[in-house]
Amino acid sequence: MTGDSRSLLAFLAAPVIVGDPDGRVVYVNPAFENAFDVSDDGARGEPLSALFEGGGREAMLLAVADVCQRGERVAFRMRQGNGAFLAQAAPIEAATDRVGVIVLLTPEPEMAERATTLKRELEAPLEDLGGCLEELLDQTGGRRDERYRHSIEQGLRALERAKKWVRELEAALKGSESSGGHGGHGDHVDSARVLREVAADLTAECEERGVAIHLLAPPELPGVVADGARLEALLLRLLRERVARADAGTGYTLSGRLAGSGADARLVIALVDPPDASHPLDAEPSSLALPELEKAVQAIGGELQVTVDGALGRCTHFHFRPA
Tens digits of residue pLDDT in 211-255 = 999 999 988 888 888 877 788 888 999 999 899 888 899 999 999
Distance CA 259, CA 269 (A): 10
Highest-pLDDT range among 155-159, 168-172, 260-264, 301-305 = 301-305
What sign does the CA torsion over 196, 200, 201, 203 have? positive
Helix (H), strand (E), coil (C) string for 63-130:
HHHHHHHHCCCEEEEEEECCEEEEEEEEEEECCCCEEEEEEEEEECCCHHHHHHHHHHHHHHHHHHHH
Tens digits of residue pLDDT in 6-62 = 567 888 888 999 998 888 999 999 989 988 888 988 899 999 888 988 778 888 888
Predicted structure pTM score: 0.49
Q: In a 10 Å sphere around its CB, with 0-12 CB exposed, 13-18 middle and 19+ buried, how is residue 39 labelled? A: exposed
